Amino acid sequence: MGTILVEEKDIVAPGETLAEGMDYIPGKGTFRDDDEIISKGLSLINIDGSVIKGIPMNGRYVPQEGDRVIGRVKDILMSGWKIDINSAYDSMLPLKDASHDYIEKGSDLTRYFDLGDYVAVKITSVSTQKIVDITAKGQGLQKLEGGRIIEVNPQKVPRIIGSRGSMISIIKKALDCNIFVGQNGYAWLNAEPENEVKAIQAIRRIEREAHTNGLTERISDMLDHDQGDES
């Protein structure tokens, strides 16, 4: 019979044995070595039926098709823009995917996106060699003007957003703050300066306590308290 040696939400280091026997299946972040399942990194355990997964606690962003990310214009080429997406690989924003307008070849591309501009984009394709193509066309995708950009741990982004956006909408509502969190760990906030600062504090706390239970309540308490102090 197989035995499982870890529990949901345990934190495990690389090389740790998670389960013995063939009753469990190694998911992402784990691997099988003979009849043992081993952790493949410093990660948080997620048990889904008989599948054991390890969610990394840390790490740079690896581009994935369909992700909505925030990029910074790094260079302007003949055929489009080279965009830094906070990863080991740059991405290309081709002319045809940059705007709903028709952009004539050879026209002044800085009119659309200039060097250093931040843009909310979506990843359209990632090749095996990590050549990344993106688009700026789509709902919510646009040049980000005003507000501020912060960097967060890309592995914590799902927790910051919450299930179906629950966590982020608490912050948005409480502080009347416009927030876009890219999967790549860049987040854009736009509100009254004091509220931006409060939103950042809330996000930092989510990052720190991402692996704990009952976080949504703690964050909403924290924000309620802030409101109380002001009045």
Partner 1 sequence: MTNSLRPDGRKPHEMRPIEADAGLIDQADGSARFKIGDTEAYASVYGPQELHPRHKQDPKQGKLRCEYNMLPFAGDGSRVRPGFSRRGEEISHVTTKALEPAVDLSEYPNAVVDVHIELTQTDAGSRCAGICAGSMALADAGIPMTDIVPAVSAGKIDDTIVVDLNGEEEHLGGNETPDLPVALIPRDETFSLMQLDGILTRDDLKECVETVKPALLDIAEKQQEALRSQYDTGVES
* Binding interface with partner 1 (CB under 8 A): 9, 11-16, 29, 31, 33, 38, 40-42, 56-60, 62, 88-90, 128-130, 155, 208-209, 211-214, 218
DSSP, residue by residue, 107-118: S-GGGT--TT-E
CA of residue 89 relative to chain centroid, distance: 16
Nearest CA to 178 out of 142, 220, 225, 137 is that of: 142
Strands 186-190 and 178-181: antiparallel
Given a contact cutoff of 8 angstroms between Cβ atoms, the answer to whether 168 and 161 are in contact is yes
